[in-house]
Structure 1
Amino acid sequence: MLITTNAIVLSKLKYKDNDLIVKCYTQQLGVVSFLLRGVLKSKKGSAKTAYFQLFSQLQLVIDHKNNRTLHTIKETKLNHLYSSLHTHVLKSAIVMFLAEVLTNTLKEEEQNETLFSYIETTLLWLDNHSEYSNFHLLFLLNFTKYLGFYPDLNNTEYPFFNLSDGKFENKKSDKYSISGENLLLLKQLLGTTFDALSSVKINAKQRQSFLSMILLYFELHLGSFKTPKSLQIFNQVFS
């Protein structure tokens, strides 16, 4: 069955000597993996692999068969040519880190057009803006809406937030109750848009602390979530 769909590249992995396995988040089918045969052995193939950089936005014609785990791509077109996302060192670090998080969390072959639109539009925002040091924090926080554990916005005036329950609370109930700088930043980000993100002023140490907290939040609510391998490199780049 041939299906035409927009897609965002999440990961690629060399397979055997000349093949690639590429995982994409597609608008029509959710997460789909593809086998690209022989693309690493010729100049024509290497030109084709350039389409499949992390977070590339593509239009694909897919030969999709329900009984397969690896599908075939018949046609590939670039939907958007980024101006800086793949060439700017700091933006590339964000791309590598967030692509690993999405690969880790998005598992199902299931259509979710609102989530696809969120990823698509926020990546375009990142590509087009020069102040983005807190982009990944707001991206991950908003991402929890689509995963089903966005913080409960009742009682935001309370002095604690419980990561396990996803709720604000008046008293510290267990080791997952946070307060202090992370709580203040959480409250600030809950009321912030990407366009207003430059007004959030924090230093590298605060940024790393909040990122560790939000990754713990993911871990508590997603049983299979693992700390991204790229986290250490990412923190070094942003220190």
Structure 2
Amino acid sequence: MSEAVGVFDRAVGLDPSNPDVYLHRGQVHLVMENLDMAIMDFQKSLSINDSTAIAHIHKNFSELRKALSQQDFDKAEKITLSFQDILNRFPSCADGYAFYGQALLDMKKFEEADDCFKKAIQLEPNNPNSYVHRGILRLSWKEDFEGGYKFIKKGIEIDGHSSFAYQALGTLEFQKGLIDSAIDLLEKAVDYSTSETEMIHLYSILLAAQVQHKVAARLGVSMPSLI
């Protein structure tokens, strides 16, 4: 991922007035959890072109992640509410509803989050991530394993190479005690990861599942309910 940042650094040097360069570099910083750098890049992109919906959305989401990491819940609440202003301006942006849904899920506003994911699916029915997010929501909100499984499987049907979907389904299988299936799905998630940061994160989950499985088998005890 640092190599990708380097590429965009060079692109900024070649074309410093191109808002897309800052937008894409900001997206890389967001994935890497470099939130301050991400916010700066999204702000720079918007200072050049204020009409890009995804730049507004990613800036807001980065600011929310930062506020939550600092446990500044009052600020997080204000940022969450400001998503609505963005959606009023860009009502047909599916990513806007998807990110707003994630923000609401982080704030444990489950019913509102579900409405956002439904709207994202309505606007962009072939995006697997919104189905997966809705499946995760069903698990967090109502412990609805059947409903969660249905939505996550739908995500995999749409994109058979979605590491996010395989991670979610692997975690669900682990919770149900289907350990061999869970490990197989988590291995697929690692195989389909698209960045070094994502691969490291997924591999740590896979390794934890494998270790817990071996320890539980050796001691003859039940597996914990969560990875």
* Larger proportion of helix: 2
- Normalized against structure 1, the TM-score is what? 0.30
- Normalized against structure 2, the TM-score is what? 0.31
- More contact order relative to length (CA 8 Å, sep ≥ 6): 1
